[in-house]
Chain A
Amino acid sequence: KAGVTQTPRYLIKTRGQQVTLSCSPISGHRSVSWYQQTPGQGLQFLFEYFSETQRNKGNFPGRFSGRQFSNSRSEMNVSTLELGDSALYLCASTHLGLVGGGELFFGEGSRLTVL
């Protein structure tokens, strides 16, 4: 079956702009979680959506938001971009959600560069 798909793979924005990233989970998975990966901070959990509801949230400012649609596809949005938002943004899907544990399937990420 198809894996987790993230779009776009690469994008460049300037400070102050906003960006929307998309994630299509594996068919049947109801949980989508998002992560930011940078060389300095490593992998950090942003939030998790399960059946269209935000279930968990990491320690990121309100500029980072997300949503999930009825078909489980998810989007995350970053407003008022800062240079420090340059990172690889990863999404992952799983059937039971992070609470249930088990295998988490990651996409290949969207690499955002903020100039």
Chain B
Amino acid sequence: GESVGLHLPTLSVQEGDNSIINCAYSNSASDYFIWYKQESGKGPQFIIDIRSNMDKRQGQRVTVLLNKTVKHLSLQIAATQPGDSAVYFCAEGGSGLIFGQGTELSVKP
């Protein structure tokens, strides 16, 4: 069936390093893709989105890359900070939202 999945369940990085979180999707008809951050005890927080007709989009310290050829989505976080520690979800949207399982990012000081 159609699904969005993450390659790695956990990711540990050193403070100041760049982080890359990956996601694979299977529904090539999705209109957009979104990255969310969820901290413990809180609801997901929007980070950045990208439309299906784009390859790259940049925000503040974050970049999302979309490779439609291999159905791959990635989130790059520059200069990772302790406050970036959270679970990150990718999601594909259109008529609903399909979420990946999440990657837990741990930032070591």
- Chain A positions near chain B (C-beta within 8 angstroms): 4, 33, 35, 42-45, 48, 56-58, 90, 92, 98-99, 101-109
- In the complex, chain B residues whose CB is within 8 Å of the CB of A33: 96-97
B window 86-108: CB within 8 A of A: 89, 91, 93-102
From known contacts A42-B101, A42-B102, A104-B34, infer whether A99 and B44 are also in contact, taking CB-CB under 8 Å.
no
The reply on B43 being an interface residue by CB < 8 A is: yes
- In the complex, chain B residues whose CB is within 8 Å of the CB of A57: 96
| Nearest CB on B from A102, distance (A) | 7
Q: How far is the CA of A90 from the CA of B42 in the complex (A)?
A: 10
- In the complex, chain B residues whose CB is within 8 Å of the CB of A105: 46
Add 7 more A-B contacts to A42-B89, A45-B96, A56-B96 (CB < 8 A).
A35-B97, A35-B99, A42-B100, A45-B97, A48-B96, A57-B96, A101-B93
Q: Is the CB of B96 within 8 A of A43?
A: no
Q: Is the CB of A103 within 8 A of B93?
A: no
| Nearest CB on B from A42, distance (A) | 5
- In the complex, chain B residues whose CB is within 8 Å of the CB of A35: 97, 99
From known contacts A103-B49, A106-B44, infer whether A98 and B101 are also in contact, taking CB-CB under 8 Å.
no
